[in-house]
Amino acid sequence: MEPLAFDDLPEQALLLVDSAPIIYFLENHPKLAPHFEPLFEAHGIGRLRFAVTTITIAEVLTGPLRAGDEAVARRYRATLEGWQVVELNVDIAESAARLRASLRLKLPDAIQAASALAINAVAIVTHDRDFSRVHSLRVIS
């Protein structure tokens, strides 16, 4: 897996982070966490800003809640709510529908992309190849 390409991002760039990279990082996935770790380190020192959608919050919390681990779920939620949270609204829903219709994205992916565009994110961070169809959005994966 190639290293993430984000050195050219401006200081304080806003990135929308998709669910999978967050899960890999929080759960310390042996193969995939190290791939995304430099990005989370850059965020940790204040070089980058992160945003997440409410869909990402739901997806990230599912694992701990399925395991019955309320403490981990609370910790994950506190982490995610410390970032900019993008709530689904009518404009984002319509934009997602347009992306879904034109690019045949799955609904959650279309909402993620539409949310990134709505907040003028510099890029979306993901581990999902479907986002490569969204040419109006830089994809970091």
14-44 tens-digit pLDDT: 999 999 999 999 999 999 999 999 999 999 9
Task: Tell me if 38 is assigned to some domain.
Answer: yes
Output helix, strand, coil percentages for the chain, rounded to the nearest 5.
Answer: 55, 15, 30
Q: Is a pLDDT exceeding 80 seen at residue 1?
A: no
Confidence bin at 70 (pLDDT 50/70/90) = very high
**Among candidate residues 63, 74, 49, the one with its CA nearest the CA of residue 125:** 49
Task: Tell me if 90 is assigned to some domain.
Answer: yes
The residue assigned the tokens 């907040």 is 119
List the Cα angle 126/44/109 in 5-degree steps: 15
Query: What is the rounded CA–CA span in Å between residue 5 and residue 102?
Result: 27
Task: Tell me if 4 is assigned to some domain.
Answer: no
Structure tokens of 47? Answer: 């070089």
Task: Tell me if 6 is assigned to some domain.
Answer: no
Question: Which pLDDT belongs to residue 132?
Answer: 84
Question: Which pLDDT belongs to residue 106?
Answer: 94
86-108 tens-digit pLDDT: 999 999 999 999 999 999 999 99
Structure tokens of 85? Answer: 């949270």
Structure tokens of 30? Answer: 């042996």
Segments forming the whole domain that contains residue 47: 13-140
43-57 tens-digit pLDDT: 999 999 999 999 999
Task: Tell me if 3 is assigned to some domain.
Answer: no
Domain count, the chain: 1
Task: Tell me if 2 is assigned to some domain.
Answer: no
Report the largest interatomic distance among the alpha carbons of the chain, rounded to a whole angstrom: 41
Assess contact for 109 and 41: CB atoms under 8 A. Answer: no
Residue 135, domain CATH: 3.40.50.1010
Task: Tell me if 29 is assigned to some domain.
Answer: yes
Task: Tell me if 1 is assigned to some domain.
Answer: no
**Among candidate residues 18, 37, 15, the one with its CA nearest the CA of residue 122:** 15
